[in-house]
Amino acid sequence: MNDALYHKAVMRMAATSKGAGGLETPAATATVDNPLCGDRVTMDITMADGVITDVGHKVRGCVLCQASASTIGEHAVGQRAEDVQRVHGRIHSMLNGGANETPEPWTEDVSAFEPVAPHKSRHQCVLLPFDALIEALATAKSGS
Amino acid sequence: MTFDSAAIRRQFPIFEVPATGGTALHYLDSAATAQMPNAVLDAVRTHDASARGNIKRGVHFMAERATEAYGGAREKVAGFLNASPSEVVFTSGTTAAINLVAHAFGQSLKAGDEVVVSELEHHSNMVPWQMLRDRSGIILKYLPVTSDGRLDLETLEATVTDKCKLIAVTHVSNVTGAVTNVSAIVAAAGAVGAKVFLDGAQRAPHGPVNVAALGVDFYAMSSHKMFGPSGAGVLWGRAELLADMPPFLGGGEMIRSVTKDVTTFADPPARFEAGTPPITQVVGMGAAIDWIGTLDHEAVTTHLNRLTERVLNGIADLNGSNGRIKVVGPQGLQERYPVISFEIDGAHPHDICQILDGHGVALRGGHHCAQVFMDAMDLAGTSRASLGPYSDDSDVDALLAGVEDAFARLGVQ
C-alpha cells in the first residue's frame, strides 16, 4: 500500500515542487486550510484576458499536497478558470472511483494520484491546491 | 508482579481484526478513542437485549429496569470520581460538558470578568470560552506553554487577577501527555475566589479521579476514551455551583412543571439532562468503569511507563542517527502519561502516519485539535502515539520500524 501511494512519480513531483515560493506581485492570491489536518496552501496567480499567465504556491502540507501543487505549477499556465474547474471535477471523480478523464496536459501527472482513491482521508490533500487555485481565480475575476 | 498484557489484549476482540495489508493491529491511538473490552461490549448488548426502555417516566417493567441501569451507572461514575451522584451530569461527551459550563456557569459572568485557559488546550476547552467571550464580553486569557509542552506557570500569579472567575485547563494534554500542576492552579484560583474547571478526557482512562482531593470545581470526561461507547460523557460539578446554574438545553426530563407561561426546572443533575439521554451508552460507560476497576493500576502504570520509555529512547536513537526526529513534549517519564508526540524534520505527519499504517500501526497525525499549541510551538502538526493497557512491546517495535521506513520512503537522511 505504501509502495502504491508513495511511488516514484508522486515523490518526484513533490520534490520538483514546480511553482514553489509564490509570486512577487500576484494579481490574485488565495489561502485555504484543511481544518482536519492543518495543511495550508497559498496560491498566487497572474492573468491576462482570463488566462493564467503565471502561478506560484506556498504549501504547508504532505507529499500528496506538495505533488498536487507541483502539478498546478506545471500545467496551470495557459488555463482558464473553467478549465481549472473541469480538472478539479475530474480529479474529484477519479478519487471517488472513476477513470482519469482529466484533459491534457494534466492527464499524466494526475494519474499519479489514482492510488489515493481508496484513501478517502487523503483526497483533500490532493484537492486542496486546486481549491486554492479556484479561489484565487474567483478573486481575480471579482477584482478584489 | 509481571504485567500480563496478552491477557488484557485477549479481552479486546478488535485485536483479532487484521489491519492494513493483513498485518496485526498495533493500536496506538487510544488518546483519540480507546478500544472496548468484551465486558463493555457485552454490557451494551445485554442492556439493549434485556433492559431497553426509556428512563424515569414509565411505570412498566422495562422502564424500571432501564431507569435502574441508568441510575446505577451514575453511582459508578460518582464512585470513580469520589463524588455524590447528584453532582454527576451525563452529557454526550467532554465537549458537551464544557459547553454546558460555558453556557450555564457562563451566564453568571459579565463583561470584563476574566476566564483563564491555556495554549495547551484542546479546541473543546478553548472554543466554548471564545464563544462566551464573543457573546458576553468576558476577557479570555491564555497561560503559555513551555518548550517541553507543559503549562508554563511562571506567569500564573500575574495572569490570575481578582477579575478572574474561572480557570479552565487540561488535566493531561492530548498532544504531549503532560500532567498539569493542579494544586498550583487551584491555589491561584482560590487566592482570587475563582473556580477551576479541569478537562479530564485524557486522564480518566488511567483510573479513578478524586475530585475532592484535587480541589477543583468542575471535571469532564468522555466514555469513549475510557473504554466505553462513544456518545456519553460526564460533567461533575460541585453541588452548590450546579444548583445556581440555569439550564443549558431545554426539553423533557429537565423540568419540574410546564405551563404556557411559566416553566420551572428540575434540580441538578436532571436540570442539565434534557431529552432522552444516551442510555445505552451511559450503561456502557458504567461497565467501562467496572472494567477499569479490575486493573492493577500500579502494574499498568509500570507497564506503560516501560513502553513509553522504549518509545522515547527509540526516538532518541533514531535522532542520533540523523538528527531529524524529536519528541514534542516532556522528554522523560516525570509528570506525563503515555501520549507521545513527535515530529520529523522534512516529513509531514500525514505521510508518517500513512506509512505507519502500512505496518499496521494506528497513529494520529495533524494538529490534534490543538492549533493554538501548534502555533506556539511553530509546528503545523505532530505524529502522536498514545498507549493503552492493551499496548505491548510488539506495538512499540512496529512503531519504531515504521518510523525507520518513513525515513527511507520520504528521503529523510
The answer to whether the Cβ–Cβ distance between A39 and B357 falls below 8 Å is no
β-sheet bridge partners, residue A51: A48, A80
Measured distance CA(B210)–CA(B36) in Å, rounded: 24
Contact with chain B for residue A62, Cβ under 8 A: yes
Closest residue in chain A to residue B406, using alpha carbons only: A2
Tens of pLDDT, residue by residue, chain A (144 residues): 788 899 999 999 999 999 999 999 999 999 999 887 788 999 999 999 999 999 999 999 999 999 999 999 999 999 999 999 999 999 999 999 999 999 999 999 999 999 999 999 999 999 999 999 999 999 998 875
Amino acid at B161: T
CA angle B364, B170, B181 (to 5 degrees): 120
Kindly tell me the burial class for residue B152, based on how many C-beta atoms sit within 10 Å of its own C-beta (0-12, 13-18, 19 or more).
middle
Q: What cell numbers appear for B393 in the block?
A: 512491546
Partner residue opposite B409 with nearest CB, options A6, A37, A122: A6
| A1, A38, A63: residue with CB nearest B374 | A38
**What is the sign, positive or negative, of the torsion defined by CA atoms of B193, B336, B102, B235?**
negative
Q: What is the largest CA-CA distance in chain B?
A: 74
Mean pLDDT of B152-172: 97
Q: What is the pLDDT of residue B266?
A: 96
Residue-level pLDDT at A144: 56
* Sign of the C-alpha dihedral computed for residues B372, B377, B380 and B382 taken in this order: negative
Q: Do A6 and B355 touch (CB under 8 A)?
A: yes
Cα–Cα distance between B373 and B126 in angstroms, integer?
11
**Which residues of chain A neighbour B375 with C-beta distances below 8 Å?**
none
8 Å CB contact of A63 and B411: no
Q: What is the 3-state secondary structure (H, E, C) of B68-128?
A: HHHHHHHHHHHHHHCCCHHHEEEECCHHHHHHHHHHHCHHHCCCCCEEEEECCCCHHHCHH
CB B390 within 8 A of CB B53: no
The Cα–Cα gap between B173 and B149 comes to: 8
8 Å CB contact of A36 and B355: no
> CA B221 to CA B245: how far, in whole Å?
20
| Residues B304-361 pLDDT 10s | 999 999 999 999 999 988 889 999 999 999 999 999 999 999 999 999 999 999 999 9
What's the rounded Cα separation, in Å, for the pair B233 and B201? 9
Question: Confidence class of residue B299 from pLDDT cuts 50, 70 and 90?
Answer: very high
Q: What pLDDT is recorded for position B2?
A: 66
Query: Which among B239, B369, B379, B401 is annotated as catalytic?
Result: B369
- In the numeric block, which cell numbers belong to residue B63? 422502564
Contacts of A36 in chain B (CB under 8 A): 366
Look at residue B254 in the predicted model and tell me its pLDDT.
Answer: 96
Structure ipTM:
0.89
Half-sphere exposure of residue B319: CA atoms within 13 angstroms, side-chain side: 14
pLDDT at B90 > cutoff 80 = yes
Task: Name which of A37, A63, A125 is nearest B381 (Cβ-Cβ).
Answer: A37
> With contact defined as beta carbons under 8 Å apart, do B287 and B43 qualify?
yes
How far is Cα B102 from Cα B79, in angstroms, rounded to an integer? 25
Three cell numbers at B32?
A: 483519540
Grid coordinates representing B99?
Answer: 459547553
Number of H helices, E strands in chain A: 6, 3
Rounded mean pLDDT, B259-279 = 97
* CB contact residues (below 8 A), chain A span 83-142, against chain B: 119, 122, 125
Q: How far apart are CA B358 and CA A104, in angstroms?
A: 33
> What whole-number distance in Å separates Cα of residue A27 and Cα of residue B183?
55
User: Distance between CA atoms of B288 and B94, rounded to whole angstroms?
Assistant: 16
Residue B366: pLDDT over 90: yes
Residue of A nearest to B382 (CA): A37
pLDDT-derived band at B413 (thresholds 50, 70, 90) equals: confident
Of B20, B380, B381, which is closest to A1 when you measure between CB atoms?
B20
Q: How far is it, in rounded angstroms, from Cα B129 to Cα B99?
A: 8
Judging contacts by C-beta atoms under 8 Å, the chain B residues touching residue A6 are: 351, 354-355, 409-410
Nearest CA-CA partner of B325 in B346, B350, B356:
B346
CA distance A51 to B382: 39
Euclidean distance between CA atoms B129 and B125, whole angstroms? 7
Residue A17 near chain B (CB below 8 Å): no
User: Minimal Cα distance from A8: which residue of B?
Assistant: B409
Q: For the segment B391-400, what is each residue's pLDDT rounded down to a tens digit?
A: 999 999 999 9
Give the separation between CA B71 and CA B292, rounded to whole angstroms: 19
> Do A38 and B380 lie within an 8 Å CB cutoff?
yes
Q: Least CA distance to A1: which residue of chain B? A: B358
Residues 6+ apart with CB under 8 A from B405: A2, B355, B356, B358, B359
Q: Answer yes or no: pTM beyond 0.90.
A: yes
* Angle between helix B349-357 and A63-75 (nearest 10): 120
User: Is B369 assigned a catalytic role?
Assistant: yes
Within an 8 Å CB–CB cutoff, is residue B404 touching chain A?
A: no
Residues of B in contact with A63 (CB under 8 A): 348, 351, 410
User: Can you tell me the distance from the alpha carbon of B413 to that of B319, in angstroms, rounded to the nearest whole number?
Assistant: 10
| Best residue of B354, B359, B409 to probe chain A, by most A CBs closer than 10 Å | B354
Q: What is the pLDDT of residues B95-137, one digit of tens each?
A: 999 999 999 999 999 999 999 999 999 999 999 999 999 999 9
Asked if B366's CB is within 8 angstroms of A37's CB, the reply is: yes
